[in-house]
Amino acid sequence: MSKISFLDNVNNGKNNKGSYFLTILITVIGGTIASIVFLVLFMLLYFSSLRTTGMVGAINILNNSLLILIFIGVTYGIFALLFYLCIRFIHKKNFIKLINTGNSIKWTRILKGAGLWGGILAIFTLISYIFDNSSLSFNLNLVSFIYLLIISILVFPLQASFEEIFFRGYLMQGFGLLSKKPIVPLILTSIIFGLAHFYNGTTLEMSITIVVSALILGLMLGIIVLGENGLETAMGVHIANNMFIALFLNSPDSGLANLPSLFTSPSSNSYSGIPLLIAMAAVLVIILFWNKKENIYRIFK
């Protein structure tokens, strides 16, 4: 038995190597292929409706950040469906066991995580702006922003929730089979989570910065999951993080440049934001576990 009951949920259902191999293969590779097929069909319809073909049409799509965001939502929808089917019929697991140790989702924790992290992001962004008002530029396009808001509400809860269930639920519990020390699955899933974001950057240095940032976020989210024996707060944090970046604080060298966000930060390929991210992560963990420090200690025992 593990020191943390959430990791013991792995004992529900089948856990042979073949089940993990098939689930990851079908979800990631199968989902990617299905998404590419969808994209090809979409592009054919798009070209047909605009009577344009070839490179010009492709460039039009790639330059439309809102269309790309919609495609991301469809892709994660496919991932989530295939993953759910694999969990039910290959692993024969109760899906809720990947989320918490109970029998239902704790929705208030999702709202708590989103509210806390959204507030921390807003406060630290405001402080940064006060000390350097050249760090952000305001560029409101009301119609485009409303479209972005609607798409974000539809896409990011699905995208972030799937990533939490897959990385901090499925993989973390799976790696828990390798070691009874919670820190092992915490570190392994955080590294994989970080590397999975490598292609979000537009340059090598930016990609490395994003990997390091995702690694820090992965560690923070993993600590929250293990400390609370459930994913819900981490899901809320993840959703708020992605929505805040898309809606309020976009960058021209991010993976989703040119979004009609309220503010745009200047292009920067430095690691200067890493200490700030570490500070924000520490603040969130302290707030969540101020009176429950023993929940943190058991992760590192």
Query: Quick one: what percent of the chain has pLDDT higher than 70?
Result: 88
As to burial, measured by CB atoms within 10 angstroms (0-12 exposed, 13-18 middle, 19+ buried), residue 278 is: middle
Q: Average pLDDT, stretch 165-175?
A: 97
What is the pTM assigned to this prediction? Answer: 0.92
Please say whether the dihedral angle defined by the alpha carbons of residues 197, 242, 170 and 94, taken in this order, is positive or negative: negative
Give φ, ψ of 150 to 5 degrees: -65, -45
What pLDDT does residue 249 have?
84
User: What's the N-to-C CA distance of the chain in angstroms?
Assistant: 14
- Alpha helices (runs of H) in the chain, residue ranges in sequence order: 5-8, 17-24, 31-50, 54-62, 65-89, 107-131, 142-163, 172-175, 183-195, 204-228, 232-247, 273-288, 293-297
The structure tokens 């919670």 sit at 182
Mean pLDDT for the chain overall = 89
Confidence of residue 44 (pLDDT cuts 50, 70, 90): confident
What pLDDT does residue 101 have?
93
Distance, CA of 80 to CA of 77 (rounded, Å): 5
